[in-house]
Amino acid sequence: MPGPAENDEGGRARLMEVARLFLKLGFTAFGGPAAHVALMEEEVVNRRGWMDRQHFLDMVSAVNFIPGPNSTELAIHIGWIRAGWKGLIVAGVCFIVPAMLIVLPLAWCYVAYGATPAVGEALVGVKACMVAIVAVAMWRFAQTGIKDGFTAGVAVLALAGAVLCKRFGVPQQELIVLAVAAVAGMVWYGRGGGDAEGDRTRAASGTAKKMSRSLPLMVLPASVGAVGFSAQVLQMALFFLKVGATLFGSGYVLASFLHSGLVEQHRWLSEQELLDAIAVGQVTPGPLLTAATFIGYVVGVRKFGGGVGGGVVSGVVATVAIFLPSFLFICVLGPVLPWLRKSAWARGALDGMNAAVVSLIAVVTVWFAGSVLWRAGGVDPLAAAVFGVSLMLLLVTKINPTWLILSSGIVGVVAHAAR
């Protein structure tokens, strides 16, 4: 597969492909990071053939070892692979901005009327469909990531470790499981030398230099914009910049970060407002971290006295601040990953992590299914039906998941209206 390219004749066409794909996902990717990964795998591996599944799994494993929203960083990395540093920026922006545009009106409704629109029940169909998409992706990842007895053993142990970590509330559980799997793979495969997978490597040095020249272009908007804002908005931006640069783990870790900073330290939000912000991030498509958009708007209006205009500005600033570190991290990771993939020791670490990723996604799938398919009174008939039909269509047809998501959403809306 060709490496990152932005100066060849097809560079502009590739950039447009990246923009179209991630705009579509930005408006339709419900369900959180695991669902986002499943949708990206379907689009870039199965439907478009931009990379093979092994390469995709390597990227999934690698982004788990850097701070920030992993699915967004995966999107940014795919953009770099497909269309160079311009693709890196375009993929990230196109994946993030649609969610921001959806969240801002919800934040306005929240401030104006005291609540967000009642969308939870209407999204039952979408969530059930996303469970099926994640389950199918897990099956495909297992076929690629579990390649021998060793990786099968790693997957079993990783599954047990992930369950135990959740049971006892161990912090940074995903990172711990992946780190142990990486060390095991490095020792097991690295000692034998192995074959460097040179046919899969990507020439990175030229693109790395171009990306380094692009960093000022990415940092400049945030720096110039901050000059005209009040000290409070700048303080908020610095807080979200710190969160984006240091956040590891799941959405529960994000909730902990936001609670300690926004509720306890700065007292910009009440606990209920924070819960509402996280809920909006969960039920809207795109990255969960667009909860920062909601928070920025609410804080800008209620605490900084900026009115609607100030709330919008504050929401945009919060969004830029929390996602900016992800672009910078991928600028570093992009050129390094090809070198890792051709090193026997690093290749072994990636193989170990790939097996562990299968188990982590399995845990998420079971948790996700439990929260969507079961209600207080037992199995939700609507969710179970949508899940079953979606799973069957994904396994036996080549249906575009986007149409399946939209159709499931319509079913959920109609069923909710009929109650």
Structure confidence by residue, pLDDT tens digits, 69-124: 888 999 999 999 999 989 999 999 999 999 999 999 989 988 887 655 555 555 67
Q: What confidence score (pLDDT) does residue 322 get?
A: 93
The partner residues of 374 in beta bridges, in order of sequence, read 379
CA distance 156 to 162: 10
Query: 348, 189 in Cβ contact below 8 A?
Result: yes
CA distance 70 to 254: 12
Structure token pair of residue 48 = 């478009």
CA distance 1 to 49: 9
DSSP 122: G
Q: What confidence score (pLDDT) does residue 342 get?
A: 73
- What H or E segment, with its residue span, contains residue 378? strand 378-379
- How big is the CA angle at 336 (ends 141 and 78), to the nearest 5 degrees? 50
Q: What confidence score (pLDDT) does residue 154 get?
A: 92
Q: What confidence score (pLDDT) does residue 102 get?
A: 92
Structure token pair of residue 248 = 């590891």
Single-letter amino acid code for the residue at 161: G
Q: What confidence score (pLDDT) does residue 202 get?
A: 38
Single-letter amino acid code for the residue at 305: G
Percent of the chain with pLDDT over 70: 82
Single-letter amino acid code for the residue at 399: I
Single-letter amino acid code for the residue at 41: E
Q: What pLDDT digit, counting tens, does each position of 191-232 carry?
A: 654 443 433 333 334 444 444 444 444 443 444 343 344 788
Closest by Cα among 83, 98, 132, 69 to 323: 69
The partner residues of 378 in beta bridges, in order of sequence, read 375
Structure token pair of residue 208 = 């790395």
Q: What confidence score (pLDDT) does residue 131 get?
A: 83
- How big is the CA angle at 181 (ends 180 and 186), to the nearest 5 degrees? 100
304 CB-near residues (< 8 Å, 6+ apart): 230, 232, 233, 310, 314
Structure token pair of residue 111 = 């401030």
Query: 127, 413 in Cβ contact below 8 A?
Result: no
Query: 360, 104 in Cβ contact below 8 A?
Result: no
Task: Output the CA–CA distances (angstroms, integers) from residue 43 to 46, 48, 293, 310, 365, in the order listed.
Answer: 6, 6, 27, 38, 20
The partner residues of 379 in beta bridges, in order of sequence, read 374
Low-confidence ranges of the chain (pLDDT < 70): 1-10, 114-123, 171-172, 191-229, 248-256, 279, 341, 376, 419
Q: pTM (2 decimals)?
A: 0.69
Measured from the Cβ of residue 24, the count of other Cβ atoms closer than 10 Å reads 17
Q: What confidence score (pLDDT) does residue 152 get?
A: 92
186 CB-near residues (< 8 Å, 6+ apart): 345, 346, 348, 349, 352
Q: What confidence score (pLDDT) does residue 206 get?
A: 47
CA distance 316 to 235: 14
Q: What pLDDT digit, counting tens, does each position of 231-255 carry?
A: 888 899 999 998 888 776 555 456 6
Single-letter amino acid code for the residue at 19: A
For residue 359, the enclosing domain spans: 1-419
Measured from the Cβ of residue 377, the count of other Cβ atoms closer than 10 Å reads 6
Task: Output the CA–CA distances (angstroms, integers) from residue 160 to 60, 145, 147, 366, 383, in the order listed.
Answer: 20, 17, 19, 14, 28
Structure token pair of residue 338 = 């090809």
CA distance 279 to 251: 11
Number of domains in the chain: 1
Q: What pLDDT digit, counting tens, does each position of 109-126 carry?
A: 888 876 555 555 556 787
Closest by Cα among 133, 151, 150 to 142: 151
